[in-house]
């Protein structure tokens, strides 16, 4: 790489670093506004509701996939679709359970 590209990338890295430091300040000079507090509580309630609703739905989807696989009687297409149903429902439920961790990570990055 030539020097111009190196200095260009270095300037971009320094600029991004300055912006991250400026906007991720953990010092707060004011209390949390009421609307932000209400919105965060509402999102927590929605998250709890989604987890409560998705648990039985994931169990039913896995059960349907298992029954479909069991009663496929050797049909390769049904076995493949049953495996897709089982994998998809397990992955979707794992993502939904990890939603709390994802939101906590985003909150910690924002400040």
Q: Which domain holds residue 93?
A: 33-110
Q: What do you get for the CA distance between the two ends of the chain, in Å?
A: 37
Question: Could you tell me if residue 9 is inside a domain?
Answer: no
pLDDT score at 26 = 56
The total number of structural domains that make up the chain = 1
pLDDT score at 48 = 83
pLDDT score at 11 = 81
What are the pLDDT digits (tens) for 24-34? 655 555 566 77
From the CB of residue 64, how many other CB atoms can be counted at a distance below 10 Å?
A: 14
CA distance 50 to 35: 22
What are the pLDDT digits (tens) for 4-40? 777 777 788 877 777 666 666 555 555 667 777 787 7
What are the pLDDT digits (tens) for 64-104? 888 888 888 888 898 899 899 889 888 888 888 887 787 77
Are 34 and 47 contacting, i.e. CB atoms less than 8 angstroms apart?
A: no
For residue 61, pLDDT over 60 is answered with yes
């Amino acid at each position: 790489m030539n020097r111009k590209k190196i200095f260009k990338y270095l300037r971009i890295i320094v600029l991004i670093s300055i912006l991250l430091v400026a906007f991720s300040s953990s010092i707060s000079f004011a209390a949390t506004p009421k609307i932000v507090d209400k919105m965060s509580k509402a999102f927590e309630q929605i998250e709890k509701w989604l987890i409560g609703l998705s648990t039985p739905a994931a169990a039913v989807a896995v059960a349907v996939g298992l029954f479909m696989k069991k009663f496929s009687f050797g049909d390769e297409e049904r076995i493949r679709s049953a495996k897709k149903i089982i994998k998809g429902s397990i992955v979707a439920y794992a993502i939904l359970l990890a939603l709390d961790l994802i939101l906590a990570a985003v909150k910690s990055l924002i400040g």
